[in-house]
Structure 1
Amino acid sequence: MNFFSALFGTTDNTQLNEALQEGAFLVDVRSSGEFASGSVKGAVNIPLDQVGSQLSKFKGKKNIVVFCRSGNRSAQAKNILEQNGFQDVINGGTWNNVNECIK
């Protein structure tokens, strides 16, 4: 377990890999500028400050994987989603971690 996963509670990659294989809804919660500089193929950009107002985009999704630069914003996004009744939300940690799991 690396420093960020210990600090922010990132799930182990086994759960992440399973969700990715099942076609998880990939959400990059970084800013639009950060997203434009590179992200995970197939991911949508819903910046952290918009997650609460964009809940309709998450409805009906079986597995949701949120990620960012360090795992901090994705941990916050996971909490927001769970507080609004969404289950099967995984904090993928960094976008590089999620990207590596897809390869």
Structure 2
Amino acid sequence: MNYKELIQNGATLIDVRSEMEFDEGHIENAINIPVNDIQARIQEVKDINSPIVLCCLSRGRAGVAKALIEAAGVKEVYNAGGWQSLL
């Protein structure tokens, strides 16, 4: 899966790192929803009308977020791993 291409073609990028980590560096146009906030903001995520690409520092938190989002019924969710791999 080419995550960069998916994002270029309209997928929404959600960075699930902490706000502090996000502020230290992130990909332009990424949405920051820390993994600990996913459940509280699940309706916001469900309202996204495009594929969702998740990133974090290394893949772990994005994996947790992916499971939570899929459990809420969202079908097209991808774990792209570390955010720097998308630069």
TM-score by length of 1: 0.77
Q: Counterpart in 2 of 1:5?
A: none
Q: 1:69 aligns with which of 57, 62, 82?
A: 57
In the alignment, structure 2 segments of 5+ residues that lack a partner are: none
Q: Counterpart in 1 of 2:81?
A: 93
Q: 1:35 aligns with which of 12, 15, 22?
A: 22
What is the CA-CA distance between 1:71 and the residue it aligns to?
0.5
Helix, strand or coil at the partner of 2:6 = helix
Q: More helix by proportion, 1 or 2?
A: 1
More deviation, 50-59/81-90: 50-59
Helix, strand or coil at the partner of 2:84 = helix
Helix, strand or coil at the partner of 2:65 = helix
TM-score by length of 2: 0.91
Using the alignment, how far apart are the partners of 1:63 and 1:38 within structure 2?
A: 23
In the alignment, structure 1 segments of 5+ residues that lack a partner are: 1-11
Give the number of the structure whose alpha-carbon radius of gyration is greater.
Answer: 1
Number of residues of Structure 1 aligned to a counterpart in Structure 2: 86
More deviation, 57-66/78-87: 57-66
Matches within 5 A, 1:1-103: 12=1, 14=2, 16-58=3-45, 59-99=47-87
Backbone CA RMSD of aligned residues? 1.2
Q: Displaced runs of 4+ in structure 1, greater than 2 A?
A: none
Name the amino acid aligned to 2:10: G
Using the alignment, how far apart are the partners of 1:17 and 1:44 within structure 2?
A: 15
